[in-house]
Amino acid sequence: MPHPLSSLGIAHTVISLLPLGAGLYSLARFGTIEPSARSGRVYLVGMVLSVLTAFGLSSTGKFNAGHALGILALLAMVGAWSVPKLQFLGSARTYLATLGWSFSFFLLLVPGINETLSRLPPSRPLASGPDSPLVRGALLAWLVVFVVGYAWQARTLYRRRRPGATQR
């Protein structure tokens, strides 16, 4: 196996599946990551634990891009949590909170895509690392999914706010 996982790497991978599953469930059920729902709370705790365990992982032994993405994801979650309390933002609060939750979910999978493609299958990984054309293409596709997904979320939020719109 070219890049064996450490015990911490295995724990981090398992922990990272919590926010992945909870985020997907919440997005499917509510159209956003809803922090007041059980799935949203699992997402929050899972993301924090995922980022914290990632700090113990580094092939170079130094701060790396994955760590920076984790911090950025936490900042996006803090912003998404805080923005609904900022009354001066008016109706933009809902859109900004949704963007923050969705962006944190997007960031969760950026290192995950690279690591998965660079490690699987164990005997002959599909990609050699973040500079691999396959990883870059997969990340570009993930960015497109994020942009289209957020546009859909924003449209859904707008339609719910129209007079006479039925609430889900």
Asked whether residue 168 carries a pLDDT value surpassing 60, the answer given is no
Residues 6+ apart with CB under 8 A from 168: 31, 160
**Angle at which helices 92-119 and 38-54 cross, to 10°:** 50
Asked whether residue 3 carries a pLDDT value surpassing 70, the answer given is no
Q: Tens digits of per-residue pLDDT, 14-25?
A: 999 999 999 999
Could you give the CA distance from residue 69 to residue 156 in angstroms, rounded to a whole number?
Answer: 28
Q: Tens digits of per-residue pLDDT, 51-65?
A: 999 988 877 778 888
